[in-house]
Structure 1
Amino acid sequence: MRLSFFNGDEISSDSRDAGKSLTRTSRNDIFGKRQWTNILLAVNVLAYLAQTVSDGNLLFWGAKINSLISEGQLWRLATSSFLHANIGHLMVNCYSLNSVGPTVENICGPKRYLAIYITSAIASSAMSYWFCKAPAVGASGAIFGLVGSFALFSLRHRGIIKGIEGDLQQIGRVIVLNMAIGLLSQGIDNWGHVGGLLGGAAVSWFLGPALEIDSVSRSGRKMLTDKAPIFRLFKNR
């Protein structure tokens, strides 16, 4: 497991198994640790190209449209997160995902990263469904879920992991940018942002990482163990 931050600090493990000891190491190239971020970026771009080729039909088929969701088209709660209103909307979300995604992917690993992204996307659409009647599309809700995940990680590990202030400033800029776009652009609503943020924080609380100091080596390195609630649940069964 490797935890990589915007400022270059990392925490790594010699084992893929949860619960093994973690120590701080020097920075490596994070581009080898962002496979799913790259895939999600590609999916969003390809979906937009498909929208263009279909003359907007794909946008109608997959957008969050409350009346159609009420009729049972629940897939729209997920598909709407891969569609975008226009090229500017797509570019802003790709920039935001590229800014936040690699850090969260390194922190959580691929499985938890995907779980956070997809859950946040659905939570975003669900919140928008309940509080906003207008049609909506966009990956920003899922991205806000990644932001919520990293914010929770930072709060959980304050005092254990140092040097993440710059990371928090970076995701703060992502929040401001997306909220501004949400206020100014048609087809985007900030209720979805709130839903994604809360969804990402909630699933991250359960899935982790939730690192605790297990021991300290003679050299002063902290040995950390992942004690996320999900591991306790399976342990008790």
Structure 2
Amino acid sequence: MSNSKVSSINFFNGRQWTNVLLALNILVYIAQIATQDELLLWGAKINSLIDKGQLWRLVTSSFLHANVGHLMVNCYSLNSVGPTMEKISGPNRYLALYFASAIASSAMSYWFSEAPAVGASGAVFGLVGSLAVFVMRHRGLVGRGKEDLQHIAHVIAINMAMGLFFKGIDNWGHFGGLLGGVATSWLLGPAWKYESPSSDGRKIFSDKAPIFYLINAKKRS
């Protein structure tokens, strides 16, 4: 893919789905208040109910929040890192990263913590991990790698602090989301490799994400 083609990919300024996710989190919190937290009880990560087969809680818990402060910090964090990852990854891979991270966060919390948990921070941690993978993969192409990694550390610190001060926020979930985002990004995330110059002097790159190798290997078999 040429540089001109990369720069022309806009995806509604890189934040179409970030805006949708932000709006969804806010609307769900309003619904929580309107139902006097019945929605919270229906969708939170509660281990005993997951054991009974309510597996949807591994996803729905990431759209619920303990209080307005929890919601605001998660929206701030998602707004900080989401548009960057959406523009880097494109909408399909972005949503895959977000939901894979959310499920990994809930699963880690389920395995290591008996306490109920809610919040989008696990999914946000996954996006942070994905950005870290992208920066490390493209150290020779990304000029602001140090600044990006500092921003990543800032978002992590804010969310870890939230886990210490607010009930219902689980740092095991943060860690699970981070691991889920890193693993998913390693498999699916962009891995641009320089191929050759074009006839008009532009640099040609191709996406060498491991998922494409696996798909091609399966086709050959």
Does the pair score TM above 0.5?
yes
CA distance in 1, matches of 2:179, 2:101: 8
> Where does the alignment leave 5 or more consecutive residues of structure 1 unmatched?
1-19
The amino acid of 1:41's aligned partner reads: L
Displacement of 1:167 in angstroms is 1.9
* Corresponding residue SS for 2:194: strand
Q: Give 2:165's aligned residue.
A: 184
* Corresponding residue SS for 1:92: helix
- Give 1:52's match in structure 2, choosing from 33, 56, 59: 33
- Give 1:228's match in structure 2, choosing from 206, 209, 213: 209
Aligned residues: 218
**Does the alignment pair 1:70 with 2:51?**
yes
Matches within 5 A, 1:1-237: 20-22=1-3, 32-216=13-197, 222-236=203-217, 237=219
The alpha-carbon distance between structure 1 residues 45 and 198, as it changes in their structure 2 partners (threshold 3 A), is same
TM-score, length-normalised on structure 1? 0.86
CA distance in 2, matches of 1:207, 1:28: 18
Displacement of 1:160 in angstroms is 2.8
CA RMSD, Structure 1 to Structure 2 (Å):
2.1
More divergent stretch after superposition (186-195 vs 27-36) = 27-36
Which digits, 9 at most, give the CA deviation of each residue in 1:178-228, with x for residues without a partner? Answer: 001111111001100010000011111111201111124699754221011
Displacement of 1:32 in angstroms is 2.3
The amino acid of 1:141's aligned partner reads: G
> Where does the alignment leave 5 or more consecutive residues of structure 2 unmatched?
none
TM-score, length-normalised on structure 2? 0.92
Displacement of 1:30 in angstroms is 8.5
CA distance in 1, matches of 2:214, 2:84: 26
CA distance in 2, matches of 1:27, 1:138: 34
More divergent stretch after superposition (149-158 vs 95-104) = 149-158
CA distance in 2, matches of 1:100, 1:127: 22
The amino acid of 1:132's aligned partner reads: S
Q: Does the CA-based 8 Å contact 2:117-2:168 persist in structure 1?
A: yes
Richer in strand (by share): 1
More divergent stretch after superposition (169-178 vs 21-30) = 21-30
The alpha-carbon distance between structure 1 residues 195 and 53, as it changes in their structure 2 partners (threshold 3 A), is same
Q: Does the CA-based 8 Å contact 2:14-2:84 persist in structure 1?
A: no
Q: Does the CA-based 8 Å contact 1:22-1:225 persist in structure 2?
A: no
Q: Give 1:11's aligned residue.
A: none
Richer in helix (by share): 2
Which digits, 9 at most, give the CA deviation of each residue in 1:76-123, with x for residues without a partner? Answer: 000000000000000000000000000000000000000000000000
The amino acid of 2:124's aligned partner reads: I
